[in-house]
Chain A
Amino acid sequence: MDNNTKTQNTHIKTVTGASLKETAEKGGCGKCRTSCQSACKTSCTVANQPCER
């Protein structure tokens, strides 16, 4: 459906669909790196970490 909306819509284009909800079932393995969002480290939001699964 994403692709349809992306190609057919003229007023609103979906650049990424339900990317998050799809991760719920298979996630949580804990293999990814930790991240810190305080400025005293190279802070980053979790969202800019890669999944390492």
Chain B
Amino acid sequence: MTGAKAKQEHTCLKESNLHKFSLAGNYFVIDPASGAVHIADKQAFDLLDKVKPSFFERYSGIDGGCYSELYNLYKDGLLFSEDSRYNYQSYAETAVDAPLKALCLHVSHDCNLKCEYCFADSFVNQAECCGESSQMSVETAKQAIELLVRESGERVVLEADFFGGEPLMAWETVTAAVDYARANESKWGKTFRFTITTNGLLLDDDKIAYINEQMSNCVLSLDGRKSVNDRVRPAHNGKGSFDLVIDKYKKLIQSRTKPGFTDCYVRGTFTAYNLDFSEDVIELARLGFENVSIEPVTAAADDLPYAIRREHLPQIYKQYERLFRLIKSRRLKVNFFHFNIDLKGGPCVIRRLRGCGCGNEYLAVAPSGRIYPCHRFAENDRWHMGGVSIGPHEIDIKKYFAKTHIYSKTDCPDCWARFYCSGGCNASSYEVYSDCRVTASDSVECLMMKKRLECAIALNALKLK
């Protein structure tokens, strides 16, 4: 028996029913199944390596002692809880396909940038080779809106997001879809929430005004420092895009004041080229952006030069810890998206069993009108679910995703992060393992997720302390 295994059997410290970590001199203890979060001193933190539930069944300890504090938490169901105690799995098992609530409209598979890491490079700017239009027609976009309404059942609030490629390259389609939905929403008894994700190049005053009037969320792509951004986000002439968008972004955000329509994120990607990405968050804050998200690149293969590899992890962890310290001490005043977590509220456990709802509550529509489970499955024939006018008719795919949840994935049931992460990205699992239900809790992706979550939980736990 290995030392680690012996230790685990002795202490019963299964990651799935207790997770502990220290950060910046604080000791955190998470009881994943109940959702409880505790801040411990070193003595209690260390004692948790030695106790196991069966001890608590036999011995309550001496009042006021460290052990008895742990005993009381155990008895209150706030330490070493098991999912089975709450029957969460039964909610997952009875899950059925749900009405549609969100649709991603790929209005353009053209793009006016050539980002080195584009996840969609198999279909973006490929119109010549596939011989199909790379822009969604106004008619198809209207049919997509009708599909969303038709499949949404009793749901009142529906989301549609304009994505690409670059959606501003099909601006006429965007406005036609929005105007059509707005003109009919009261008749249909629905309320639409629109989002647009753009690289900003084609923004002008009219588009900014329209976006700020109609889109309840707006996502602006920029990778941080000019040198970082321009290396990986060049325009077709090879020149960097930073200077072309920065003033437009500032203008858009400054004029984004309509109540209910103020959400806006500047989002960037970090790659192996900028493993010091906390500097990019700092730079975006310095430029005046309050809501910032910088996320790890998804690479199609590990040997791509920009791909994040296992050996980068220590450096990446340090970056998240640095951001944690800067934000906690308020030396960096920014709303860093990945550190937002509501420990007391947040989504219900049923929602957390399945992350994105792709293929089930959420679908994507390609420019041709073909339906896919989400934007990352777009143009993959294996996942073609039908067309906007009559679909989705591949009900088996919808049912498959309804049953794809943390308990049907390989590593998630035993992962402490399951109710925060909700089982990762199905498309990513499919790309890496050819199976949406395979996850690996020691993969680079999962390890980064867990580090971000630790920082987020720590930051918010300290606020509540």
| B447 → A minimal CB distance (Å) | 14
Docked pose: A42 CA to B294 CA in angstroms: 9
- Most chain-A CB neighbours within 10 Å: which of B77, B78, B101, B344? B78
Among A17, A39, A51, point to the contact of B345 (Cβ < 8 A): A51
Supposing A16-B464, A39-B298, A45-B421 touch, asked if A51 and B348 sit within 8 A by C-beta, the answer is yes
Which B144-183 residues have a C-beta within 8 angstroms of A? 155, 157, 159, 163
Residue-by-residue, is A10-45 near B (CB-CB < 8 Å gives 1, otherwise 0)?
A: 111111111111011011101111111111111111
Quick one: which of B37, B40, B77, B338 contacts A21, CB cutoff 8 A?
B77
Taking a contact as CB atoms under 8 Å apart, the answer to whether A15 and B33 are in contact is no
- Asked whether, in the complex, the Cβ of B349 is within 8 Å of the Cβ of A45, the reply is no
Chain B interface extent, by class:
35 or more
Q: Is the interface of B mostly helix, strand, loop or mixed?
A: mixed
Interface residues of B in 428-463 (CB under 8 A from A): 428, 449, 453, 456, 461
Q: Does B290 contact A (CB under 8 A)?
A: no
B420 at interface, CB cutoff 8 A: yes
Give A31 to B98 CA distance when docked, in angstroms: 12
Instruction: Find out whether the CB atom of A50 lies under 8 angstroms from the CB atom of B342.
Output: yes
Q: Interface readout for B109-144 with A: 1 if CB under 8 Å, 0 if not?
A: 000000000011000000000000000000000000
Cβ-defined contact, B78 with A44, below 8 A? no
Question: Are A21 and B69 in contact, CB atoms less than 8 angstroms apart?
Answer: no
Residues of A at the B interface (CB closer than 8 Å) are 1-2, 5, 9-21, 23-24, 26-28, 30-53
A-B contact pairs, 7 of them (CB 8 A): A27-B347, A30-B101, A34-B362, A36-B425, A37-B421, A52-B157, A53-B348
Nearest first, the 8 A-B pairs at minimum CB distance are: A27-B348, A20-B35, A23-B348, A28-B350, A18-B34, A11-B44, A19-B35, A48-B340
